[in-house]
Amino acid sequence: MTEIETEIEIFLSIDEAQTTSFLSIPRSDIERLAVSPFRWIRYVMFAICGARGDLRTTPNGSAVDYENTEIANGEYYYRPSGKLSFCV
């Protein structure tokens, strides 16, 4: 029997009214690739969106503790602080 892969869901939160499912990353990949998982996810989102921002546990909450190395299963929200500029 194989173990079910846990996905960490990242939502792009443009503002209080506009949030969309954006990225799903296997937890095992995050654990394998990152010593600081929240910093790594923030970097990945910056690289994709072209805008600095913060990772949050709720759409309108405060930023996560980037020093924390334990990532919980579930959803996280990336709130960009600048204009998005996706590469096509």
CATH code: domain of residue 63: 3.10.20
Residue 78 structure tokens: 């990336």
Domain that residue 31 falls in: 7-80
Q: Would 62 be classed as within a structural domain?
A: yes
Alpha-helical segments (H) within 1-88: 27-33, 37-49
In a domain, 51, yes or no: yes
What is the predicted pLDDT for the residue at 82? 84
How many Cβ atoms from other residues are within 10 Å of residue 76's Cβ?
23
What domain count does the chain have?
1
Q: What is the pLDDT of residue 1?
A: 42
Q: Provide the whole-model pTM.
A: 0.87
> What are 27-63's pLDDT values in tens digits?
999 999 999 999 999 999 999 999 999 999 998 889 9
